[in-house]
A and B are shown apart, each in its own frame.
Chain A
């Protein structure tokens, strides 16, 4: 299992474009310790490899499908409201590929 230390958390938060305070990092590290300890306990259960991972807590399926009817979209102003930079109605970003 991957070791989660301060560097890993700082790297992850920076990739997600936010900064964590020192005490937040400490809290998160404590939480990860508990999580990882619980995962270690799971390893002790025998025969786990014989089971499919359970995505949904109940064996349930539906037959619901949405009718193909369009609804009113957002106005362009609303779409662009959170954009840092806009050009000709599009969201402008620094170039990320060569």
Chain B
């Protein structure tokens, strides 16, 4: 029997606001432990939540990008549970009225587009970070209260690839809207997968298994594909699937059991009494949407119009810093296809070699744009361009200066000029002509060398070779 996998994803995204969701404590990822904490984050008596305006704007932008209906009145609820990661004893979230509901996004599967429904997106606060050791646990409250949006898809994905593309699309939206840095490895984008199997044609869902702790997009696909295989085998051998939480073990390439779920936990949700409903004006919502930075899909289309291939556009857009560097080259009137080539091959190789990020390189994007113009104008080869580029990157000098330092000059491919050099070289070296005619191929390399010498390296080698052969044949 064949089974259909039914997959839904819950994604938590940490927003990169300057302060936390309900307190004015600073919000940055890299600070030393327990140094970004205010009395509210520790639930001191008398402290009250005050909602962050920027977090609301960001949530609106994400909701809009996901084609959702946006609730213009904000309502919050308490989700009650008793655990050390939450000193208040409850998390403030939006259970009854999420800020966004009923949207979708499109993923590309081969040449086709598939629409994945999104049930809701709501705002809430993050819990503190726990680090578990063999017999104790450490708590860092820097993360307690960090603004989150949770994005809940409908169970409309059916394999690991679709889930992977979905997460990729969500990441692109939150990164390019400026909402989050979307780094799965640092936990600023966290994905929980719900997956069940059912025989094809059956309407009822099978027993749901949850997979947690997926720290890369590739792991999501691998974990789901493994889980589909595991559940299929279990069902075929007559086993019952247990409702459980599993995690993905990358080294084993397998999901492993974390805990079996017993009864559903009752969080005793009730409306948060310390936050009265907040009305958002239409102008506020519209302004948040209008000021949203250009999103991934729009940039992608624009890059294709600049002449880039889909693959090149994807590579550049996979790093927002590279995308903004790329775009900064445009005003110089650059050949953007050539800029992309240099970025993807030469600049990337330089970054890998030096361990630098693109923001740290010494060459302004406009100089790279200028380089492409000089290559075209002076008919230089890509190799010569690359030499100039590396010189600029290493020495922090401009294109003109680097070109001068490397003694690179405009190439000559003018037929008359080349013919003059070729004739002179042939006249001076009759023996080489005889050697070449006698089958000694090396003789022509010698002649090319002579022409290059006469032209002071300016003659285009491919044009020289062709002209030499042509002239030798006439003699």
Residues of A within 8 A of B (CB): 15, 53, 55-56, 60-71, 73-74, 76, 79-80, 87-98
| Contact present for B276 and A91 (CB under 8 Å) | no
Q: With A69-B24, A96-B137 given, is the CB distance from A89 to B19 under 8 Å?
A: no
A10 to chain B, nearest CB (A): 17
Binds A, one of B278-286, B324-332, B359-367: B278-286
* Bound: A96/B81 CA distance, A: 14
- Of A63, A67, A79, A95, which is within 8 A of B132 by CB? A95
- Which residues of B lie under 8 Å from residue A63 when comparing CB positions? 278-281, 284
A12 to chain B, nearest CB (A): 11
Q: With A68-B18, A88-B33 given, is the CB distance from A93 to B136 under 8 Å?
A: yes
Closest partner residue, chain B, to A91 (CB atom)? B139
Q: With A61-B73, A63-B278, A63-B281 given, is the CB distance from A70 to B39 under 8 Å?
A: no
A18 to chain B, nearest CB (A): 14
CB interface residues, B 46-95, toward A, < 8 Å: 50-56, 73, 82-84
Q: What are the 8 A-B residue pairs with the smallest beta carbon separation, nearest first? A: A68-B54, A65-B53, A90-B138, A55-B271, A70-B26, A71-B24, A61-B277, A66-B50
- Which residues of B lie under 8 Å from residue A74 when comparing CB positions? 37-39
| Contact present for A65 and B38 (CB under 8 Å) | no
B70 to chain A, nearest CB (A): 15
- Which residues of B lie under 8 Å from residue A70 when comparing CB positions? 18-19, 24-27
| Contact present for A67 and B53 (CB under 8 Å) | yes
| Contact present for B132 and A65 (CB under 8 Å) | no
5 more A-B contacts (CB under 8 A) besides A68-B53, A96-B83, A96-B84? Answer: A61-B73, A71-B38, A73-B38, A74-B39, A80-B34
* Bound: A87/B54 CA distance, A: 35
| Contact present for A64 and B278 (CB under 8 Å) | yes
The contact string, 1 if C-beta is below 8 Å from chain A, for chain B 122-133, is 000000000111
- Of A60, A71, A89, which is within 8 A of B25 by CB? A71
Residues of B within 8 A of A (CB): 17-19, 24-27, 32-39, 42, 50-56, 73, 82-84, 131-141, 259, 270-271, 273, 276-281, 284
| Contact present for A93 and B19 (CB under 8 Å) | no
Q: With A63-B278, A94-B136 given, is the CB distance from A73 to B25 under 8 Å?
A: yes
Closest partner residue, chain B, to A65 (CB atom)? B53
A-B CB contact pairs (8 Å), 13 listed: A60-B276, A65-B53, A66-B51, A68-B18, A68-B55, A71-B26, A74-B38, A79-B37, A89-B34, A90-B140, A92-B139, A93-B139, A95-B133
- Of B52, B270, B276, which is within 8 A of A65 by CB? B52
| Contact present for A79 and B276 (CB under 8 Å) | no
Closest partner residue, chain B, to A67 (CB atom)? B53
| Contact present for B34 and A61 (CB under 8 Å) | no
| Contact present for B136 and A76 (CB under 8 Å) | no
- Which residues of B lie under 8 Å from residue A61 when comparing CB positions? 73, 276-279
| Interface-centre pick from B24, B27, B50, B273 (highest chain A CB count, 10 A) | B24
| Contact present for B137 and A93 (CB under 8 Å) | yes
- Of B37, B54, B132, which is within 8 A of A73 by CB? B37
Q: With A68-B54, A95-B137 given, is the CB distance from A62 to B276 under 8 Å?
A: yes
* Bound: A65/B279 CA distance, A: 10
| Contact present for B34 and A76 (CB under 8 Å) | yes
| Contact present for A89 and B137 (CB under 8 Å) | no
- Of B17, B84, B270, which is within 8 A of A68 by CB? B17
* Bound: A73/B132 CA distance, A: 26
A58 to chain B, nearest CB (A): 9
A73 to chain B, nearest CB (A): 5
Q: With A61-B279, A88-B33 given, is the CB distance from A93 to B84 under 8 Å?
A: yes
Closest partner residue, chain B, to A80 (CB atom)? B34
- Which residues of B lie under 8 Å from residue A76 when comparing CB positions? 32-35
| Contact present for A87 and B138 (CB under 8 Å) | yes
Closest partner residue, chain A, to B272 (CB atom)? A55
Closest partner residue, chain A, to B23 (CB atom)? A71
| Contact present for A90 and B32 (CB under 8 Å) | no
- Which residues of B lie under 8 Å from residue A80 when comparing CB positions? 34
- Which residues of A lie under 8 Å from residue B141 when comparing CB positions? 79, 91
B19 to chain A, nearest CB (A): 4
* Bound: A87/B133 CA distance, A: 12
- Which residues of A lie under 8 Å from residue B18 when comparing CB positions? 68-70
* Bound: A89/B139 CA distance, A: 9
Closest partner residue, chain A, to B278 (CB atom)? A62
A75 to chain B, nearest CB (A): 8
A88 to chain B, nearest CB (A): 7
| Contact present for B137 and A92 (CB under 8 Å) | yes
